[in-house]
Chains A and B, each alone.
Chain A
Amino acid sequence: MNGKKLISKTYLALILFILYAPIVFIAVFSFTEAKSLGNWTGFTLNLYKSLFTGATPSSASLIAALKSTLIVAVIASAISTFLGTLAAIGIYNLHGRRKTAIKLLNNIPMLNPDIITGVSLFLLFVFLHVSKGYVTVILAHITFCTPYVVLNVLPKLAQMNPNIYEAALDLGATPGQALRKVMIPQLSPGMISGFILAFTMSLDDFAVTYFTAGSSGLETLSTYIYADARKGGLTPELKPLMTIIFLVILAVLLFVNIRTFKKTKDKTV
């Protein structure tokens, strides 16, 4: 019994170690200045300093890439959340075969390999003579983010009392007011998780961005790192940036989990 427990605990520890070792590795080496990874030349915060001040040319272009990544991610996930919520409400009100068909159509872009989405959007934009840049990248990101929002909002609709919207109308709300005052508050947990998912999908997308940004000079983090790695040697400031992104995500996850934990506890009391 005890031996079994030991094995299972060791196994778990091993898995966790494999999962988190690379991140921990980067985090640790973000506090030293050595150019090549794995060389410890003493503790320093210089990389963080140069990341925030943009002192070196490489850190300045890294900051620029980060900025455009965030611009794309925020705009794309906001628009996706809006479109996805409306689409989910529409799908929810369909019936039978049409509902199944539209749900399937919604799932295909998520399963479709990014490279195919990227190339086909690239060809579409060429065909339509849309010049590459923020517009094409954001449109492309909306395309692959929206299905995730739909997928997050649909269950919330299913949980909702089907008469709630009608009840609002019945009490004198216009369809718009009913949507704002009754539907949106009910759907907001799904919309928020959809937004977060869309945001992270947009944040680390490479293939689609690579094809839709073209030669416009627009670089997001992923395309910047790719180009950087090809030139040989990663920008050292990447290490503190990765660490910060990881910590931010960790903080958001902890916040969300603690909140839901508290809520369920409140309900049982």
Chain B
Amino acid sequence: MNKENVIINIEHLSKSFGDKKVLDDINFYINRGEFITFLGPSGCGKTTMLRIIAGFLNADSGRVTMDGNDLNGVPPHKRPLNTVFQRYALFPHLDVYDNVAFGLKLKKMPDDEIATKVSKALKLVSMTDYEDRDVNSLSGGQQQRIAIARALVNQPKVLLLDEPLAALDLKMRKDMQIELKEMHEKLGITFIYVTHDQEEALTLSDTIVVMNEGKIQQIGTPTDIYNEPVNSFVADFIGESNILNGTMIEDRKVNFIGHDFDCVDEGFGENVPVDVVVRPEDIYILSNLDAAQFVGTVQTCIFKGVHYEMTVLTDEGFELMIQDYNSFEVGSKVGFLIKPNDIQVMKKERTCNTFEGEMTSEESVEILGVEFDCGVREGLEKGDKVKVEVDFNKIDLQDNLDEGETNGSISFILYKGNHYHITVRTEEGFKVYVDTNDIWDKNDIVGIKIAPADMRITKISE
């Protein structure tokens, strides 16, 4: 890391709202002149991060430094950065000129200088001749241009953009993306951009910070993030993907969907469970079955403009998504090929659920904040601290909440080709991972049940 080039440095930043941890020990730095994007689903902490940098919120702990100066306690009006808000936040009682001139007038700049700067800023956003217009009479896109001009006219070192294009229609959004990119290149200042739109992030950014549940998942260039996602969340969130369970047999050899494949990854060890990502456009589909690595049947085929999107069922019973320029008839038998460098192998974050708990009697254990029946356990007594392991597929989710020992809501669903991998967050804030063939929706409330025999309980020696 070249210190000279770093403009903003963020260390150990944490923030909670009530019980909810919105940012959890965030660390990263932003280079001068970089176009950096915080990307993640709603509630991942990306906007909170931007608001802390802008000074509208204080972090609970950690610090933000800009050019080496600690920004902690510096009020927003004294920070050398400006913000473009999601819903423009123009001042409705002022016309276009006075909106753009607002910051300059506060600085008590001479009027003629203000006039020159305002017209230059309006020119930059292609809004010359609009100076006398009432801001309420402008379209959404025009208002957003004025909001950008109002921020840029102050010549900030850093421009913060909070989902600035989210309220615009698709065509307008595409045009504005190109313009923003051009503005960034022309001005050479640092842009910090927040969005939940992965395509927008891939198009605009030099660097993407993928966030989920208050934690940074991955930092990298758009190509890195797309081609080499570090975990299944990133792979699923960015673009379309087939995410599958696999086993690393040895270096450069991985087994998934019932077949061995050559790959380019090394250093995972032998016979280690892994997650495998294959992008839909990286699976070659052919009618010649002899040349194929594996075969299957086309189930659906939809025309998407440039390509066809197909779901296929392999003979081993895995469902895959494939994109190809050619269409294949539904029901037809086809063969598939995957090239070694199109297989992305990821270390599994976990291979089973691990809960820490305490024996409450010889046949019950407290985990996830509630008491579970665990059958008689020899050698364990009340008060023993224990580790309880449960396989993903041994956790039973129930519609009827009364049947579960505890309740939770479904926070993340991942399709793994032949089953769903579901993350359930319990009321007490614990996470339970479940493999199931049942179809659930995000935010469904479910009862959680574990059969006593499926718990592997080991005593934790102190």
Contacts and interface: CB of A to CB of B under 8 A. Distances in A.
B154 interface: yes
- The prevalent SS among residues of A at the interface is helix
B21 to A, nearest CB: 19
Given A185-B93, A186-B92, A170 B77 contact: yes
B106 A173 contact: yes
Contacts of A169: 55-56, 75-77
Nearest to B156: A170
B370 to A, nearest CB: 27
Contacts of A173: 77, 102, 106
A161 B102 CA distance: 17
Contact of A166 (B56, B91, B93, B151): B56
B82 A171 contact: yes
Interface in A135-180: 161, 163-164, 166-175, 177
B76 A170 contact: yes
A161 B83 contact: no
A207 interface: no
Contacts of A174: 75, 77
Contacts of B150: 171
A170 B91 contact: no
A171 B160 CA distance: 12
Given A169-B76, A170-B82, A171-B82, A177 B106 contact: yes
Of A161, A166, A171, most buried by chain B (CB within 10 Å of CB) is: A171
A119 to B, nearest CB: 43
Interface string A184-199: 0110000000000000
A177 B86 CA distance: 23
B294 interface: no
A161 B82 contact: no
A171 B148 CA distance: 12
- The prevalent SS among residues of B at the interface is loop
Of A169, A174, A175, A267, most buried by chain B (CB within 10 Å of CB) is: A169
A175 B55 CA distance: 13
Interface in B40-85: 54-56, 75-77, 82-83, 85
A171 B98 CA distance: 13
Contact of B103 (A164, A171, A185): A171
B89 A172 contact: no
Contact of B154 (A164, A172, A182): A172
Contact of A161 (B76, B89, B103, B154): B89
Contact of A171 (B87, B92, B102): B102
Interface string A16-42: 000000000000000000000000000
Contacts of B88: 161
Q: How large is the interface on A (under 10, 10 to 19, 20 to 34, 35 or more residues)?
A: 10 to 19
B161 to A, nearest CB: 12
B107 interface: yes
Contact of A172 (B77, B86, B92, B93): B77
Contacts of A186: 92-93
Contacts of B89: 161, 163-164, 166-167
A77 B381 CA distance: 73
Contact of B107 (A164, A172, A185): A172
Interface in A45-85: none
A164 B91 contact: yes
A173 B86 CA distance: 20
Contacts of A177: 106
B91 A182 contact: yes
B113 to A, nearest CB: 16
Interface string A106-144: 000000000000000000000000000000000000000
Contact of B102 (A163, A166, A168): A168
Given A171-B106, A172-B77, A166 B92 contact: no
A164 B89 CA distance: 5
A166 B84 CA distance: 11
Contacts of B90: 167
A167 B83 contact: yes
A166 B92 CA distance: 14
A267 to B, nearest CB: 8
A176 to B, nearest CB: 10
Interface string B119-152: 0000000000000000010000000000000110
Contact of B85 (A163, A181, A182): A163
A81 to B, nearest CB: 19
A172 B91 contact: no
A186 B135 CA distance: 14
A201 B87 CA distance: 39
A9 B286 CA distance: 82
Interface string B18-32: 000000000000000
Contacts of B54: 166, 170
Given A167-B85, A170-B83, A172-B107, 17 more contacts: A161-B88, A161-B89, A163-B86, A163-B87, A167-B89, A167-B90, A170-B54, A170-B76, A170-B151, A171-B77, A171-B102, A172-B154, A173-B102, A174-B75, A175-B75, A185-B93, A267-B136
14 contacts: A164-B91, A166-B54, A166-B83, A168-B102, A169-B56, A169-B76, A170-B54, A171-B106, A172-B77, A172-B154, A173-B102, A175-B75, A177-B106, A186-B93
Interface of A: 161, 163-164, 166-175, 177, 181-182, 185-186, 267
Interface of B: 54-56, 75-77, 82-83, 85-93, 102-103, 106-107, 136, 150-151, 154
In the complex, the 9 A-B pairs of residues with the closest C-beta atoms, listed nearest first: A171-B103, A163-B89, A167-B89, A169-B76, A185-B93, A163-B85, A172-B106, A170-B83, A172-B77
